[in-house]
Amino acid sequence: MAVHKRSYRGYSGPLTPPWSRFSIVTRYAFKNAFQSKLITAFFVCCFFYPLGCAVALYLNKHVDVLVTALNIHALFDVDGKFFFHFLNAQGAMAFVLTALVGPGLISSDLANNALPLFLCRPFSRADYVLGKMAVLVTLLSAITWAPGLILFLIQSSLAGAAWMGANLWMAGSILLGSTIQIAILCLLALALSAWIKRKLAAGAALLGVFFFGAGLGQAVNAVLETRNGSLMNIGELLGSVEIHLFRVYAQSPVPPDLAWLALGALCVFCLLLLERKVRAYEVVKG
């Protein structure tokens, strides 16, 4: 309709399928996130370490180049420990990226009272949370399991099919370890973002949950002479699970099954917090 014909008219054109609408929120949230130069720059930095690892894998295989150049016979073994350290390093980057992107995802909509506008449409609360979560899942996937699997494939192509066959479990561990990292970071960031309307405060709360939890856990361990305090330390819980997944022979601070249980409970708790807060209007009972 030409702009000079200003009269109300209905819409009778085609509609997008309802299942795809969560991606609209994701698209707009991505656009918003990458308007920040800091986030863009940090996201690029997140690929430096995987790139370095890829170069290291190449050099490790072509050690004869180094032998002639630097008189070195071998660099390192490519085993579970290699990928464990890779995932730990990328996990730290993922945490910082989450702290930068996550807090603004829901808090800005809550601060603007925008939820009734989203939810008065054929668009559910689950779609909304899924759309917001997809932002973090995509970003964190791009810096954790995706480069991890690429490194695994690079090593497989360098070491041959026999190595790949013998170490296929590592691919599964990379995928599973990254998934649990991503799930915890996403849910925690979204839950805090939903409960704290200020973006900065929500970011600080995310850091607080990790670092204050770690400190409190240590204090509990020291005072009560127990190891159960480590259950408050999300980093140690993730570490315990990854030690188990990558078959690293190191002492894990928390038994792996207990760590899985605690992380599962944390996910459920975050989902409950989201369920309570992501509503068009808050109902005050009583």
Binding site for other proteins (CB under 8 A): 1, 3, 6-16, 18, 21, 24-25, 28, 32, 108-109, 112-114, 116-124, 279-281, 283-286
Q: Which C-beta is closer to other proteins: that of 89 or that of 119? A: 119
Residues 147/47, Cβ–Cβ less than 8 Å: yes
Question: How far is Cα 159 from Cα 136, in angstroms, rounded to an integer?
Answer: 33
Q: Which C-beta is closer to other proteins: that of 36 or that of 218? A: 36
Q: Which C-beta is closer to other proteins: that of 127 or that of 236? A: 127
Residues 241/177, Cβ–Cβ less than 8 Å: yes
Spacing of C-alpha 241 from chain mean position? 15
Question: How far is Cα 274 from Cα 286, in angstroms, rounded to an integer?
Answer: 22
Q: Which C-beta is closer to other proteins: that of 81 or that of 199? A: 199
Q: Which C-beta is closer to other proteins: that of 73 or that of 285? A: 285
Residue 262 CB, nearest approach to other proteins (Å):
33
Q: Which C-beta is closer to other proteins: that of 3 or that of 162? A: 3
Residue 278 CB, nearest approach to other proteins (Å):
12
Residue 33 CB, nearest approach to other proteins (Å):
12
3-state secondary structure of 89: helix
Residue 99 CB, nearest approach to other proteins (Å):
20
- For residue 71, report the phi and psi dihedrals to the nearest 5 degrees: 60, 45
Residue 9 CB, nearest approach to other proteins (Å):
6
160: phi > 0 → left, psi -120 to 50 → alpha, else beta; which? left
Question: How far is Cα 87 from Cα 247, in angstroms, rounded to an integer?
Answer: 14
Spacing of C-alpha 100 from chain mean position? 12
Q: Which C-beta is closer to other proteins: that of 17 or that of 165? A: 17
Residue among 137, 135, 149 nearest 50 (CA): 149
Residue 97 CB, nearest approach to other proteins (Å):
21
Residue 207: how many CB atoms within 10 A of its CB? 13
Residue 4 CB, nearest approach to other proteins (Å):
9
Question: How far is Cα 86 from Cα 275, in angstroms, rounded to an integer?
Answer: 34
